[in-house]
Amino acid sequence: MFSRNEWKLGVQVANLLVLTYSVYDLYQNPDKLAQAGFDITLSAANFLCLSEHGGTIGEFVAANLNFAGVGTAYAGVTSNCPQSSRTVIPAILKATSNIITAGTLYFNSNDKTEQQKPEEVRNEGSRLKFS
């Protein structure tokens, strides 16, 4: 279906769209600084961690922050505070984006740790090869 690189690229594009929406939302309503600031920071961290040079610890931290982002989306919808309230559709899209990004970061982190295991010895007939 999709290769890993295509999937990661798609998730990066989705995070750039969320980043753009968050910046636009902050521009339109400066009272949402805390909420939009978290979304901007999280989207930028996701974009950087999904790049080829993202570290395993950064990916783990960003994945956990994405789950915190799901909580902020829920709190924004259910709170009665006019400064932090969101409409339902953008909140659902943001929460879905956070869950997909967190899963991608977790699986990407697992792939990197599997690739860093010591060399395995394969016995192919009478010859030993290291891969």
Q: Which of 55, 52, 18, 46 is nearest to 103 (CA)?
A: 46
In this prediction, residues 10-16 reach a mean pLDDT of 90
Per the prediction, the chain carries an average pLDDT of 78
Per-residue confidence at 2, pLDDT binned at 50, 70, 90? low
Q: What are phi and psi of 88, to 5 degrees?
A: -70, -45
The Cα–Cα gap between 110 and 101 comes to 14
Tokens representing 13 are: 């594009």
Where would I find the H helices in 29-87? Answer: 33-49, 56-78
Does 122 score more than 70 pLDDT?
no
Residue-number span of the structural domain to which 38 is assigned: 4-130
* Residue 74 · residue 95 · CB < 8 Å: yes
* pTM across the whole model: 0.71
Look at the chain and report how many structural domains it folds into.
1
Per-residue confidence at 51, pLDDT binned at 50, 70, 90? confident
